[in-house]
Amino acid sequence: MHAEQQPQTEPRLYHLHIYFEDDTESDARSIYEVAQTQTDIESVGRFHPSPIGPHPVRQFQLLVRTEHLDRIETWLRHVRGNLDVLIHPEIDDDLLAHTELARWLGRPHELRLEKFRN
């Protein structure tokens, strides 16, 4: 007899990381400024001057509740231009969140996942 699996519940929050380089920094700053006025965004993280954590390029993060994710993702699709966006759930398993459960708007980047594997 197989044990019943618990249904996976939807995460309450998502991180949306907007990646930028020197040539796209002004586009990223424009989105950063507008994001701070969006009521469907829980918080806007720091505008990082250098790569941090698993992110291979500079970025800033938006924290969005699941019920607002579709709207914010649609908005980003329209305003991101050439910026790449990593979207992942906020869950206890960072490796899973940044790999199997992650998705991208634009070009995927290879993340530095070593710290999640230790």
- Residue 1: pLDDT band by 50, 70, 90 thresholds? very low
Report percent pLDDT > 90 for the chain. Answer: 88
What would the pLDDT profile of 62-116 be if each residue is shown by its tens digit?
999 999 999 999 999 999 999 999 999 999 999 999 999 999 999 999 999 998 9
Please state which CATH number belongs to domain 13-110.
3.30.70.1240
C-alpha torsion sign, points 87, 93, 94, 100: negative
> What is the Cα–Cα distance from 53 to 35, expressed in whole angstroms?
22
Identify the CA nearest to 72 among candidates 11, 9, 8, 13: 13
